[in-house]
Amino acid sequence: MVRFLARRLAYMFIAFLCISLVTFMLMKMAPGSFFNANFQVNGVSAVAGSYGVSPQVMDALIKYYHLNDPWYVQWWYYVHGFLTWHMGTSFEYPGTRTVTIIDTAFPFSVRLALMAVATGVIIAIPIGVTAAMRENGWMDVGLMFFAMLGTSLPAYLVAVLLIVLFALWLHLLPVIGFTHPQDFILPVLSLALPMVGALSRYLRNSLIDSLHSEYVTGVIAKGGSLSRAVWRHALRNSLLPMITVVGPQLAGLMTGTVFIEEIFDLPGLGHYFVGAANVRDYPLIMDSALLYATVILAMNLLVDLTYGLFDPRIRRAGDLG
């Protein structure tokens, strides 16, 4: 188990380096940078210009940001900064370390994503179980139709439709704001509903496979009821593969919040990222991209580990090796 973990962590680190390298290269290869784009393309930069940057200051800035060093030094500067959590200063928000931005914005995004996943799983399980226990009945067909709607619509479209429904017609919920609990209902629902669609469909199909499998017949033959077979046996076995679905969903949500943050004007990291990409704020782009990559990689690792913990076959094999 320890060896397995060590190997996975090593892979994870290599993947992290690759991702940082590719992101860095792309950023560098692109025409224009924060400074020369603002100076040479636009004449006077909107941002840098407002600080009255002279060529001397520019030189100082370039030096400060290591922009004249060889590429690998610059790259390492980002990676090292990220790994030691001593990240550099944002271009766009001079004087503000990206750590500060990340520190306030990232927890916000994480909270949003976690609330969405929790909501999604809590709604999806009863829907999946209900549909599976009434396989091909009208309840099943109806629920799965709505689940299909959920899977085929992106979160932001759901957000728009929810806004139309709750804010425009019913005047029930606020659309803008992020201070009161009710402000979060629509954003969380927008993220959760597409997930409910995917998860409940998955759960239903996997439960039905279980319900058709012999071991459920075995439980019934002992005198167990269908609901015991579902809750005590089949659900447990279906939740296991569902972890592999939830993991990437959660990772996807982390970036999916970008659009929701835009639509509802929420101060999450995605919101900052879009701004940073538009003005080529290298440090902020690099650091948030690396952060997201780390989260996704960690999530994938977690999925594998959980899988191992739940499956006795893998767990026992782990004992041996």
Partner 1 sequence: MAALLEVRNLAVEFHRDRAVSRAVNGVTLSVERGKSLGIVGESGSGKSVTVKAIMRLLPRYARSASGAVLLEGQDVMRLSEGRMRHLRGRRMAMVFQDPHAYLNPTKTVGSQLVEPLILHRLAAGAEAKRRAVDLLRLVGIPSPEVRFTQYPFEFSGGMLQRVMIAMALIADPDLLIADEPTTALDVTVQAQILRLLRKLKEDRGMAMILVTHDLVVAAQTCDEVVVMYGGTVVERVPSHKLLTASAHPYARGLIACTPRISNADTIPTPIAGQPLNLREPLPGGCLFAARCPDRVAQCTEVRPQLEDVAPDHQVACFVAAGAAKEGAVHE
Partner 2 sequence: MSMPTLKKRTMATLMWGRFRRNRAAVLGGAFVLFLILCAILAPVIAPYSYMQSNFLATYQSPSWQHWFGTDELGRDMLSRLLFSLRTASLIGFGAEAVELTLGLLVGAIAGYLGGAADTILMRVVDVVYGFPSLLFAIILVVMLGHSLFAILIAVAATSWVTMARIVRSQVIVVKQSDYIAAARGMGANWWQILRRYVLPNSLGPIAVTVTFGIPANMMVESALSLLGLGVQPPTPSWGALIANGEQAMFSFPYLLAFPAVTFAMTLLAFTFFGDGLRNVFDSKSMH
Partner 3 sequence: MSETPLLEASELTRRFRSRQGVMSAVDRVSFRLMRGEHLGIVGASGSGKSTVAKLVQRLLPATEGHIYYSGRDVTNLGERALRPLRRRIQSVSQNPYASLFPNKSIGQNIVEPMLLHRMGSPKERMDSAMRLMRQVGVPSEQFYAFPHEISGGQQQRIAIARALALHPELLILDEAVSSLDVSIQAQILHLLVELQGQYSLTYLFVSHNLAVVRMICTQVAVMFLGRIVELGPVSEIFSHPAHPYTQALLAAVPDFSSARPAGADVPQEVDSEPEPPSPYRLPSGCRYRTLCPIATQRCESEEPQLRTVGAGQHAACHYSGGAEAEPDPARTEREGVR
User: Of 295 and 303, which has the nearer Cβ to partner 1?
Assistant: 303
Span of 46-54, 58-66, 86-94, 281-289 interacting with partner 2 by CB under 8 A:
281-289
For the CB of residue 222, give the shortest distance to partner 2 in the complex, in Å.
27
Pick the closest to residue 105 from 287, 301, 297 (CA basis). Answer: 287
Q: What distance in Å separates the CA atoms of residue 69 and residue 75, rounded to the nearest whole number?
A: 10
Q: Are 168 and 191 in contact (CB under 8 A)?
A: no
Cβ contacts of 90 within 8 Å, gap of 6 or more: 96, 97, 98, 101, 276, 281, 283, 284
Min. distance of Cβ 103 from partner 2 in angstroms?
Answer: 19
Residue from 14, 215, 231, 274 in contact with partner 1 (CB under 8 A) = 215
> What is the closest distance, in whole angstroms, from the C-beta atom of residue 184 to partner 3 in the complex?
47
Structure token pair of residue 39:
């100076």
Site for partner 2, residues 164 to 183, rule: CB under 8 A: 164, 168
Q: Which residues, listed in sequence order, are joined to residue 97 by a DSSP beta bridge?
A: 89
- Residue 296 sits in the site that holds partner 2 (CB under 8 A): yes
Q: Which residue has the tokens 């100082």?
A: 60
How far apart are alpha carbons 321 and 313 in whole angstroms? 13
Q: Is 185 in the site for partner 2 (CB under 8 A)?
A: no
Residue 1 interacts with, from partner 1, partner 2, partner 3, none (CB under 5-8 Å by kind): none
Is 317 a binding residue for partner 3 by CB under 8 A? The answer is yes
Which pair of tokens denotes residue 97? Answer: 């370390």
Cα four-point dihedral sign 210, 211, 217, 223:
positive
Round to whole Å and give the CA distance between 293 and 5: 19
Which C-beta is closer to partner 2: that of 119 or that of 300? 300
Of residues 32 through 51, those in contact with partner 1 by CB under 8 A are: none
Footprint of partner 2 (CB under 8 A): 11-12, 14-16, 18-19, 22-23, 26-27, 29-30, 148-149, 151-154, 156-157, 160-161, 163-164, 168, 251-252, 254-256, 258-259, 262-263, 273-274, 277-278, 280, 285, 288-289, 292-293, 295-297, 300
